[in-house]
Structure 1
Amino acid sequence: MGASLLCGLLLTSCYSYTSVVGDGAQGSSQVTQWNHYVIYGLAPVGVSDSKAMAGGAENYEVFTRQTFVNGLISAITFGIYTPTTTTVKK
């Protein structure tokens, strides 16, 4: 039991994904916002709008991930609150 729990903890990782809109980012300007989920990320409470974050740009990249701080907060709350971070680079 203890070994399987330890393996489960060691094999977990942060996730990330990137979406490219149009030709992708053309500059180095970026905006970052947190997304708020509850119950291990199953129920969204407040999710950022990447199109609004792009500010009307037609070419940008959206990078969503669970950072170390997001994972730490999720662990402290035992998954009740599970935030992620979205960065839009234009």
Structure 2
Amino acid sequence: MTTLMSSCFTYTTVVGKGGQSGQSVSKWNNYVIGGLIPVGVSDPKMMANGATDYTVVTSHSFVNLLVQGITFGIYAPTTTTVTK
């Protein structure tokens, strides 16, 4: 039951003036063993594709938490969204 009640986190970073156009791209970050070991982590600067003003939001989505629960925390993804 505590797995279902675990809190979500969201981390937001604003670069320059932040996202202005509303165009966004999302990518999963891959971690194992409850998020302790990164296997594949996205690069927000690369996802911004040369933009100087963008907003980065890293969070656990419902699907991320569902996958983490199904794998008993062995695989713990997060989602990074970059808005230009």
TM-score (ref. length: structure 1): 0.88
Partner of 1:81: 75
Structure 2 gap ranges (5+): none
Give the alignment's Cα RMSD to 1 decimal: 1.1
Higher share in helix:
1
Structure 1 gap ranges (5+): 1-5
CA contact (8 A) 2:3 2:69 kept: no
Computing the radius of gyration over CA atoms, which structure comes out larger, 1 or 2? 1
1:51 aligns with one of 22, 45, 66: 45
Q: Number of aligned pairs?
A: 84
Q: Secondary structure at the match of 1:62?
A: strand
Identity %: 58
CA pair 39-10 structure 1, distance change in 2 beyond 3 A: closer
